[in-house]
Amino acid sequence: MFTVEQIKTAHSKVKSGADFPSYIQEIKALGVTHYEAYVADGHIDYHGANEYLVKVPAKYKPLFVAETSDAETFKAELLAHQQGKTDYLTFIKMCATVGIEK
């Protein structure tokens, strides 16, 4: 199965949202079936077959996540991020502002 180091190596290649599809393909090839990234502090749980789990610890100081969501703003900002217009931390801060938990 995959390790935290393999995930970090794959993630190090992501410079913008435009690189994200390649990252997903790479971690799928490692055996990641799905993952949960928590906006509040950046910790991520990566899941594999047979309940395999790798946890990556928090990456930044906790953010306040709005209690109500703004789907339209999120969709527009997600598209901009996927086009490489924002970096990861800018995207995450926007997610917290519009009420996205993970």
Does pTM surpass 0.85?
no
pLDDT beyond 90 at 23? yes
Let me know the angle formed at the C-alpha of 33 by 31 and 34, rounded to the nearest 5 degrees. Answer: 130
Helices marked H in 31-102: 71-82, 88-97
| Per-residue model confidence (pLDDT) at position 16 | 73
pLDDT beyond 80 at 93? yes
Domain ranges, ordered by start, for the chain: 4-97
Pairing of strands 34-37, 44-47: antiparallel
